[in-house]
Structure 1
Amino acid sequence: GSHDTMTYCLDKTSTVSGNESKLVKFLNKCMPCIVHPIIMKWSTTQVLTVTEQLEAGVRYLDFRIAHKANDPSMNLYFVHMVYTTVTVEDILWEVLRWLETHPQEVVILACRNFDGLTKKLHCHLIACLKEIFQCKLCPRNVSMRSFFPPLRMIYCNKANLHPTKWRRELNLSCLLSCGTIQFLFSKEYLMYHFLIFVSEKFFVAGINLTENLRYILVHPFGSLKKMTLQSLPCLKIWIKQQYPGPKKQCINIIAGDFIGNNDFVKDVIELNTKI
């Protein structure tokens, strides 16, 4: 899977999302020439287009959907701090075109966020999905609950997961160092920012590392891509240690940033040989 699938086409001229903090909006308004490029560097998580991601082997698309503030139209966009240049409807048609040339494939569209969506806009989104995919949608009489139980999202911290248990389950020492490569992330940083979706029988792990304001200030010439590529060798080791299946220690989908790098998709697909 790809985390924040649509950030390859963020709009450089876009306003900051209405869901962002007042401080970010204020700084971007006062110093756009400085703040906006920084936002772009730390918001872009993918460089491959959605079709290229599907061709690479991605079957789980993370769609963060939003409606622009003060936009009188019904157009919906994708968002990650700023909005995309393309609309949701355009991308849904693109996914359909790919599915039509790959009739044996199944793609999961994980739609979320819904910033600024009213009930009317939600209905519009559902209508678009039905109109575009039609019979390709999972039929109502097929219970997906037995295959994909409801997911709950957990940010791992001291409040909901004991640190020693977290380190044991995710081999945190492997994430922190790999051979001669030493990372700048502390154990506490990873415990607070490594994201995992959990249910009793279905696991989706988001192996995206999330920066905070302090990290950005300490690394003025850094970017999300640099941070991610630096960590890939150790994330690769962690991926190879995973097992798919219904047990609690298993993982079924792994979503990452910059999925075209370092054989990420290949390593995830190869986990199927362990079934």
Structure 2
Amino acid sequence: MSTSADKGKRTSYCDWMAQLPPDLQNKPFYELAIPGSHDSMTYDLDINSPIVEPDTLKRFSKICCARRILRRWAVTQEETIAVQLDAGVRYFDLRVARKPHDSDPTRLYFYHGLCTRTDVETILKVINEWAERHPKELLILALSHFKGVPEKVHTHLIKFIKNLFASKLIRRNDTHTLKACWNNGRNVIISYDYPANQHIEIWRRIPYYYGKSMDPAKVESKLQMALEKRPPHSFFVCGLNLTLPEDSGILRYILRLCDNLVNVIQRSLPRLLLWLKQQAAAKTHPNIVASDLVTRDDFVSTVVELNISKHVEV
């Protein structure tokens, strides 16, 4: 891994964890800075899907232009999961839903406003294949929300996950360092935001802190307060993402005919990344940092270099 003197020379973050200095390989996961993807599957949103959220817009599901407008303001990522993985992203925010009236009772999709075109099991297979090719890269899959998912489908999904990732799954009682997991051939963590405590391979929900605002200054302020109160010895997601209002205030944004969420994010991302770089000198370092547009600008490199800053401090 490059030192601070070599900063800027790295051109690939495909295997950045495998190249961390030895002392960082023996640090607990929650002491590492890990790049994450917010609403990771939104590049795949289906314009023909019924509106899943917000509730105020569901009655417009049958209107094509309404779905198109919603999609413009729901897309937070531009690249596929495989490209995000190759870029160095290691945490994925995966929000799950069941499409109403689906002929397959166990088929699930991802969603953000609308459902995705690709189903959950297909994407998990893609991630599993990548994990096999990169055994030293720790992947954290945070499955959450589960809109319209009945209990029996949770049982099916958990069984599928355990069979698919098998011995690659990091258990809750394992030693949680990169070196220990490499030695045991494990590199996938499943965070499941639904009671599944009887499965030692399934982790509880990882707390996700975000600004809940479209104003970058408010996002920074709330994240700063969250970092200062961060619970020790556990995962912690610091969400750089902007958030649309959940009430009628959303109309102020989605009715902008010449704008979309990607453009708004792109305008705010440089400022948010500057705030993130400043955390290198702070006493409380971020753990998982999730963002929109993860393959743009220098998001991944900024997060990864926080590890090097800590290494130099030591």
Q: Could you say which TM-score interval applies, normalised by the shorter chain?
A: 0.7 to 0.9
> Given that residues 96 and 146 in structure 2 are in contact (C-alpha distance below 8 angstroms), is that contact kept between their aligned partners in structure 1?
yes
1:164 corresponds to which residue?
Answer: none
1:58–1:265: 8 Å Cα contact kept in structure 2? yes
Alignment of 1:55-204 (within 5 A): 55-73=86-104, 74-139=106-171, 141-142=173-174, 151-153=206-208, 185=215, 199-201=230-232, 202-204=235-237
> Residues 48-104 of structure 1: CA distance to partner in whole angstroms, max 9, x if unpaired?
110100000000011101111222411011011111111110011100111111111
Could you tell me which of 68, 73, 92 is aligned with 1:42? 73
Amino acid paired to 2:273? K
Instruction: Judge conservation of contact 1:196–1:204 (CA < 8 Å) in 2.
Output: no
8 Å contact from structure 2 (residues 220, 272) kept in 1: no
How far off its partner does 1:241 sit? 1.1
| Stretch moving more, 133-142 or 210-219 | 210-219
Three-state SS of the structure 2 residue aligned to 1:43 is coil
Stretches of structure 1 lacking an aligned partner (at least 5 in a row): 158-183
SS at match of 1:208: coil
Q: How far apart, CA to CA, are the structure 2 residues paired with 1:42 and 1:232? A: 16
Q: Which whole-Å CA distance do the structure 1 matches of 2:223 and 2:67 have between them?
A: 23
Counterpart amino acid of residue 46 in structure 2: D
Deviation readout 1:127-149 (Å, 9 max, x if unpaired): 110111000001354276xxx99
In 2, distance between residues paired with 1:262 and 1:39? 25
Identity of matched residues, %: 37
User: AA paired with 1:84?
Assistant: T
5+ residue gaps, structure 2: 1-35, 177-202
The amino acid across from 1:139 in the alignment is R
Q: Distance in 1 between matches of 2:133 and 2:171?
A: 21
| Structure 1 residues 199-218: aligned runs within 5 Å | 199-201=230-232, 202-212=235-245, 213-216=250-253
Between the two proteins, the alignment pairs up a number of residues equal to: 241
Tell me whether 1:235 sits opposite 2:272 in the alignment: yes
Q: Distance in 2 between matches of 1:106 and 1:58?
A: 10
Normalised by the length of structure 2, the TM-score is 0.69
Partner of 1:168: none
After TM superposition, the score normalised by the length of structure 1 is 0.78
Once residues 122 and 128 of structure 1 are traced to their aligned partners in structure 2, the CA distance between those partners, rounded to angstroms, is: 10
Kindly state the Cα deviation for residue 20 of structure 1 after the two structures are TM-superposed. 3.1
What CA RMSD, in Å, does the superposition of the two structures yield over aligned residues? 3.1
Q: 1:150 to 1:250 in 2, by over 3 A?
A: farther
Contact 1:240–1:267 (8 Å) recurs in 2: yes
User: In the TM superposition, what is the alpha-carbon distance from 1:40 to its structure 2 partner?
Assistant: 0.7
SS at match of 1:225: helix
Measured in 2, the distance between the counterparts of 1:231 and 1:128 equals: 39
Matched, 1:256 2:291: yes
| 2:84 corresponds to | 53
Amino acid at match of 2:57: V
Q: Is the Cα–Cα contact under 8 Å of residues 216 and 268 in structure 2 kept in the other structure?
A: no
